[in-house]
């Protein structure tokens, strides 16, 4: 199945962890003290995050987050049809999350738990790298049983974040429901930690369900075993229709069939923070696909989204950034 087979559908749905990002700037020593792998993601409990906040120089900023959420929020801000499916707690963080979704033109399909809303402490070091400490909270309680075909019937693409690999029943039910509804499935590998811990399940679902596979260099290396970018892209593309390899400052590469497209990076202003860069790259790319753009234009739009989000702290591109991105459309 290709994007043409989805007919006139344009909606992009995201399924993933409903999380609120707590954004803080600290140095490498702070990461070391917390026991995190720089650039990676570590699952922690709420007490861990609260203790880390007490040791910070200043209170962290708060915005809605989660990989799939960031992607569909970007689609909504581009003017596309977007939807997010997730589980929240009945608390103030849950209200912040829902408010941000609506503000980003995303249709909320939310379920609620007595557990607290999930949160991520995203620590940004002076080199603009971000390291995440994640307390999944209520987000892990999204039941596989609610993932039915009818949720995705008007969707062209269902975006599934790699973090759902930690919940095999949920990710499998989501993939089956998306496929039954006639939607394409896009999977972002999320983190090299996730790939390393879920390799067997990952290989199975990619072969059976995934149409669009997106990864950065670390994730691609963990999945394919290749450090060479051409071989890594080839490994990503082996069982999918479209594979995208994000290369940071060196741009990106996209493979579809026998075609390989190299996308130049946008340059100019210095990078402030890489939080959400991959998620917003995916937003631009997938919006381009459902809009019928050629791969080159999809890649350029993706690059612009990834570039703009690196100019601010967090994953929320400001109004003037979106204006510059829309001018490319």
Q: Is 186 part of a structural domain of the chain?
A: yes
Closest CA to 191 of 283, 278, 264, 63: 278
* pLDDT above 70 (res 2): no
Q: What is the DSSP string of 282-312?
A: HHHHHHHHHTT--HHHHHHHHHHHHHHHTTS
CA angle 31, 312, 157 (to 5 degrees): 95
Please check whether residue 120 lies inside any domain of the structure.
Answer: no
Least confident residue range of 9-18, 119-128, 154-163, 166-175: 119-128
- 316: Cβ contacts below 8 Å, ≥ 6 apart: 63, 73, 100, 276, 309
Q: What is the mean pLDDT of residues 306-315?
A: 89
77 occurs within a structural domain: yes
Mean pLDDT of the 38-62 span:
89
Inter-residue contact 123 to 131 (CB < 8 Å): yes
Number of independent structural domains in the chain: 1
> The domain containing residue 264 runs over which residues?
3-17+65-113+144-326
What pLDDT, on the 0 to 100 scale, is given for residue 224?
96
For the stretch 190-216, pLDDT in tens is 888 889 999 999 999 999 999 999 999
Provide DSSP, 31-74: HHHHTPPTTSEEE--HHHHHHHHHTSSSPPEEEEE-HHHHHHHH
Query: Model confidence over 126-141: pLDDT tens digits?
Result: 988 889 899 989 998 9
Answer whether residue 222 shows pLDDT above 70.
Answer: yes
174 pLDDT higher than 60: yes
Is residue 24 a part of any domain in this protein?
A: no
What would the mean pLDDT of 231-256 be, rounded to a whole number? 96
pLDDT of 64 reads 84
Nearest in space to 141 (alpha carbons), one of 167, 163, 177, 160: 167
199 in any annotated domain: yes
**Alpha-carbon distance 34 to 51, whole Å?**
10
Distance separating alpha carbons of residues 186 and 252, to the nearest angstrom: 17
Residue 33 has pLDDT above 60, yes or no: yes
pLDDT of res. 6? 67
Determine, yes or no, domain membership for 189: yes
For the entire predicted model, the pTM comes to 0.89
Residue 217, in any domain of the structure: yes
Q: Are 187 and 204 in contact, with CB atoms under 8 Å apart?
A: no
Q: How confident is the model at residue 3 (pLDDT cuts 50, 70, 90)?
A: low
How far, in Å, CA of 152 to CA of 125, rounded? 39
Q: Residue 246 half-sphere exposure, CB side, CA atoms within 13 Å?
A: 29
289: domain CATH number is 3.40.1190.20
Query: Is 172 inside a domain boundary?
Result: yes
- Buried b or exposed e, range 226-243, using 16+ CB within 10 angstroms: eeebeebbbbbbeebbbb
Structure tokens at 230: 């051409």
- Kindly indicate the confidence band of residue 79, based on its pLDDT and cuts at 50, 70 and 90: very high
From CA 175, how far away is CA 202, in angstroms rounded? 12
**pLDDT value of position 1:** 55
Residue 157, both tokens: 């693409």
* DSSP structural state of residue 117: P
């Amino acid at each position: 199945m290709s994007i043409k087979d989805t007919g006139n559908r344009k909606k992009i749905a995201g399924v993933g962890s409903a999380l609120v990002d707590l954004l803080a700037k600290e140095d490498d020593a702070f990461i070391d003290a917390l026991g995190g792998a720089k650039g990676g993601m570590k699952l922690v409990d709420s007490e861990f995050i609260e203790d880390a906040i007490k040791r910070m120089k200043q209170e962290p900023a708060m915005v809605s987050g989660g990989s799939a959420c960031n992607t569909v929020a970007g689609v909504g801000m581009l003017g596309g049809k977007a939807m997010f499916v997730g589980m929240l707690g009945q608390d103030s963080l849950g209200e912040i999350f829902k408010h941000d979704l609506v503000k980003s033109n995303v249709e909320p399909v939310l379920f609620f738990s007595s557990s607290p809303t999930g949160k991520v402490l995203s620590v940004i070091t002076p080199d603009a790298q971000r390291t995440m400490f994640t307390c999944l909270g209520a987000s892990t309680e999204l039941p596989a049983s609610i993932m039915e075909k009818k949720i995705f019937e008007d969707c062209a693409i269902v975006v599934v974040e790699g973090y759902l690999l930690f919940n095999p029943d949920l990710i499998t039910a989501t993939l089956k429901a998306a496929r039954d509804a006639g939607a394409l499935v896009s999977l972002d590998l999320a983190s090299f930690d996730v790939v390393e811990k879920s390799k067997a399940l990952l290989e199975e679902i990619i072969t059976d369900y995934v149409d669009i596979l997106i990864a950065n260099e670390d994730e691609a290396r963990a999945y394919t075993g290749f450090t060479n970018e051409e071989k890594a892209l080839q490994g990503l593309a082996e069982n999918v229709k479209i594979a995208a390899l994000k290369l940071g400052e060196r741009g990106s590469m996209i493979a579809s069939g026998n075609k390989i497209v190299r996308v130049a990076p946008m340059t100019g202003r210095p990078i402030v923070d890489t939080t959400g860069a991959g998620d917003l790259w995916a937003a631009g790319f997938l919006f381009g696909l459902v809009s019928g753009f050629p791969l080159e234009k999809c890649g350029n739009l993706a690059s612009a989204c990834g570039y703009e989000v690196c100019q601010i702290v967090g994953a929320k591109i400001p109004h003037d950034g979106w204006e510059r991105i829309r001018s490319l459309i």
